[in-house]
Amino acid sequence: MAREVFNSKMGAIAAAAGSAVGLGNIWRFPYVLGENGGGAFLFVYILFTFLIAVPILLSELAIGRRAGKPVLGAFKALAPGTKWHLIGYSGVFCAFLILSFYAIVSGWTLLYAYRAVVGELAAISPDEMTTLYNHTSSDPVVSIIWMFAFIGLTAFVVMRGVQDGIEKYSKILMPMLLLLIVLLCIRALTLPGALDGLAFLLKPDFSKLTFTGIFEALGQAFFSLSIGMGTMTTYGSYISRKQNLVSGGFSIAGLDFMIAFLAAVIIFPCAFSFGISPGQGPGLVFVTLPNIFNQIFMGRAVSIVFFVLLSVAALTSTISLLEVVVSFLVSERGFRRKPASLLVAGLIGLLGCLCAFSSTIFSLFDNISANILLPGGALFIVLFIPHVLGKEAFRSELEACGTRQRVFGVLYFVIKYIVPVAIGGVLIYQIVNWLIG
C-alpha cells in the first residue's frame, strides 16, 4: 500500500523539498535565531546545515532508495536480525511529538489566513498585533479548533494517498511563496530602521552565542531539513534510480536555507522597525509580518495569499510527518491506510490539546524533538553508513544515476568522522551541562 503514494518517481525529490520547507523555515528559524542573539547563530547554522545536515540527508535518501522501503522496513531489509530498525521506532515517536505542536502552529497559520480574509489584520498597530497573538496563543479552545481543522486536512490527504496531487500543486505554489518572500524582503529592507535589523542578522557577535545556542542551531538544521527520524529515508525509497541524489540533496538544502534566510531578512528589519523584541519567542512571525502587510500596496490581498501559501507549505510538511506513522502502521502492523490515518490523526489531536493548554508542554515537545531526538536519530543513521551499509554500497547508490560523484571521497570522510564527532560532542556537552547545571 505505502508504495502507491507517489506515482511519479520524479516528483519524489519535490516531495522531499516540500517536507523540508515549512514552518521550520518561516516560523521556527527566525524565533530561535532571535532568541540566540542573531548573526553568530546564523553563522553556526550555515556551517551545520551544509557540513553536517546535508551528508545526513544524503545518507537517509541513499538508505531509503537502496532498500526501497519506508524507514523501519528499510533498516530491517539492510540489516536483518539486528536492532538498527529501532531508529524507525524513534522516528515514529518523534513524528508524534513534532506533529502535536506543529499542528497548533499550522492551525494558527490557517487562522491568520482567515483573519486576513475578514480584514482583522488590516490597519491595526504593532502593539495590537502583539495583543492579538497573545490572545490567540493563550486561548486553548481557538487553538484546538484550528489545529483539528489542519490535522483533518492532513489526514484527508494521507488517507486517500493523494500526496502526489498535492506535490503537483506545491510545485507551482512553492515558487510563488518564494517570489512573495522576495518582494516582502524588498519592502522590509526599505522600512525606517531596517538596517538595525539587518545588522542583527548579519553581523556576528560571538559574545552573544552560548553553548545552548550552538546546540539549538544543530537541532534547527535537522528540523528544517526533516532529518534524523527517517522521513527522508521514506522519501528516498520513492526516488527513481535515475535521479542524482547528490545534486537533489544539495538543491533541497539550498532551497530550504534560502527560504529560512529570506524569512529572517523580512522579520528582523520589521521587528526593529516596529519596536518588537527579536527574542520574543514563538510568536515572532505572527507579530512582525502582518505589520508589513499594512505598509504595502494591496496589503490585504498580499496577506491572504501569504498565509494561504504558508499553510500549504506547512501542509506538505505535516503530510510527511503523518506519513511516517501511517506507513509504519500499514507496512509493519497490517493496518489499512484509512483507519490508520484516522487513528493517528485522532491521537495527535489529543497530544496537540496538551500543547494548546500548556506552553511549557509545547516548548518541551519542541525542544525534545528538535534538539535531542533528531540529533540522536541522525547520529545512528550516520553510523549505519560506514559500519553496516559499507563504503562501496553507499557509493554505488549515490552513483546509480550514472554520474561519477567527485565529492564522494570528502563526503564519506565527513560522514565517517566529522558528523559523528560533531553530533556526539554537542549532545554530550549539552547533557552534561544540564546535569551539572
> Binding to ligand PFF by residue 237, rule CB under 6 A?
no
308 Cβ partners below 8 Å, 6+ apart? Answer: 113
Question: Rule CB under 6 A: is residue 136 a binding residue for ligand PFF?
Answer: no
Q: Which stretch binds ligand PFF (CB under 6 A): 159-167, 219-227, 343-351, 416-424?
A: 219-227
Per CB under 6 A, does 319 bind ligand PFF?
no
Nearest CA to 314 out of 49, 29, 107 is that of 107
Cα 381 to Cα 168: distance, rounded to the nearest angstrom: 30
Please pick, from the candidates 22, 107, 126, 269, the single residue that binds ligand PFF as defined by CB under 6 A: 22
Q: How far is the CB of 302 from ligand PFF (least distance, A)?
A: 22
Smallest gap, in angstroms, from Cβ of residue 236 to ligand PFF? 13
Q: Say how far apart CA 2 and CA 5 lie, in whole Å.
A: 6
- Specify the residue, 62 or 374, whose C-beta has the smaller distance to ligand PFF: 374
Q: Measured from the CB of residue 126, what is the shortest distance to ligand PFF in angstroms? A: 26
E strands in 308-390: none
Q: Which stretch binds ligand PFF (CB under 6 A): 149-157, 189-197, 225-233, 354-362?
A: 225-233
- Per 3-state DSSP, what percentage of the chain is helix, strand, and coil (rounded to 5)? 80, 0, 20
Supply the minimum distance, in Å, between the C-beta of residue 38 and ligand PFF: 20
| The only residue of 101, 108, 223, 394 in contact with ligand PFF, by rule CB under 6 A | 223
**Residue closer to ligand PFF, measured from CB, 97 or 400:** 97
Q: Which amino acid is at 161?
A: G
Give the chain's length. 437
Kindly state whether residue 25 participates in binding ligand PFF, applying the rule CB under 6 A. Answer: yes
By CB under 6 A, residue 23 contacts ligand PFF: yes
Question: What is the Cα–Cα distance from 91 to 235, expressed in whole angstroms?
Answer: 14
**Is the CB of residue 211 less than 8 Å from the CB of residue 429?**
yes
Task: Give yes or no for a contact between 373 and 90, defined as CB atoms under 8 angstroms apart.
Answer: yes
Cα separation, 260 vs 405, whole angstroms:
28
For binding to ligand PFF (CB under 6 A), which residues are involved?
Answer: 19-20, 22-25, 98, 223-224, 226, 229, 231, 317, 320-321
